[in-house]
Structure 1
């Protein structure tokens, strides 16, 4: 699913058609064709002109960023490069913080771990792809439960985000956003099917289906984690964290540090390095970032310490 946001981009489209047709550099034209092929993009003729305008703008920003030697991370063309910034935020980032919640600017010092300690659970987790469904909350919740069983119980499950999207509708809203703690709690109360039994469709309108005779997996519950205790918790197994991912769309590799604390996405914290930088597992597939992962600057970068939960 792709939204076009044609109204907001109409002025840009009309003023840029001539430029794109007559003056677009060859490298951008070639990059756009390679992009369409790699990500299987198909447009109507009017939309292709519109998408080329957006792609060109993003491509030039990517080149400028990577030419800046002061940057601590690099960016690259990926599945989001034909999206405007507004589209990216509207489609991918739909986490809604609890009513009345505000981020804290308090300095956070992690406790319960040794200086220069590190942990890395990347080999124990799966990178999945939420596609065009804003259900990062469900992928984070399921990832936390999968990691709990894998590391604590030595049970390797691939569980169904689609079941959680379809069925956990008390306060969660499927592809329109939700809360990872409620997702983990739902799994503890009602169980969850395997991914192979309840296949991912990325659709917010599916009806909740109970597969009678198919075994469900249950964890015991969910536990909130204090801001100072993230590293100690991650040392046991990965946890859900809520972040401001507004500027994450073209991240490729390196230590990311370009964000505020406007929480709008949920991911899995799967480790930290000896400098305290966080290792993050996202749900945008392996073509994004470091094979689906990100290195996030130490501290409360992107609000990573503000709201965390673990499966128990």
Structure 2
């Protein structure tokens, strides 16, 4: 770690995101960014081993994308993108323009995520995972309203309520709040994580970009000012059971095993008919057998 990788900044923690746990993580990600998808593996491991110390709030940062194709922006351009987005706040607040305004298409998935979050933090996290599954594995257009509704059905939230919130000003204003927070915290790279402790008057600690797992562990230890107790990871089959899909790369990172060892363990689970292998888009994934 060095000063370029993370720094202290005076950042105000919004009251509505206060938590009973001592540390709150603000995680800035783009749901359609491959690096952010990979970064979610680090967060999974972090929650499994040290989740008793912190909770997470996910803030979507959309870098303009079109149907089925992400138009990547360089990190240095991200500030300009959000400045331009913020200037459209009046348009975003007018829900009457939702259906017909083509300029709103890039925001559909982000607003849908906010609509899901209105049903709780867990609903929001599950919806984000399902969006990524639909985009990266199924190659579906997640700016399409029907696809967004299918995501809601798949995670078993109240679909009627979700559809109402999808077109309400509540979700749009929640997205506006995210845009404001992103700007105020000077987030110019994604993924980025800001650590806050329970004292909202104290500064947050920001980690910009994709860092090593131990970086986040060390910062958590620094912020809690205590020796962390590491929890045991769940059994491999049990972990896969509660994931929509996993890759060998993800499992190797979480369980800190070689590819060869993990392949052997997965073969055992396949023979026991607990796990099945799925091949999509030339990629191999593993899924629990219900």
| TM-score, normalisation: structure 2 | 0.24
More helix by share: 2
Choose between structure 1 and 2 for higher RCO, CA contacts under 8 A separated by at least 6 residues: 2
Structure label with greater radius of gyration = 1
TM-score after normalising by structure 1 = 0.23
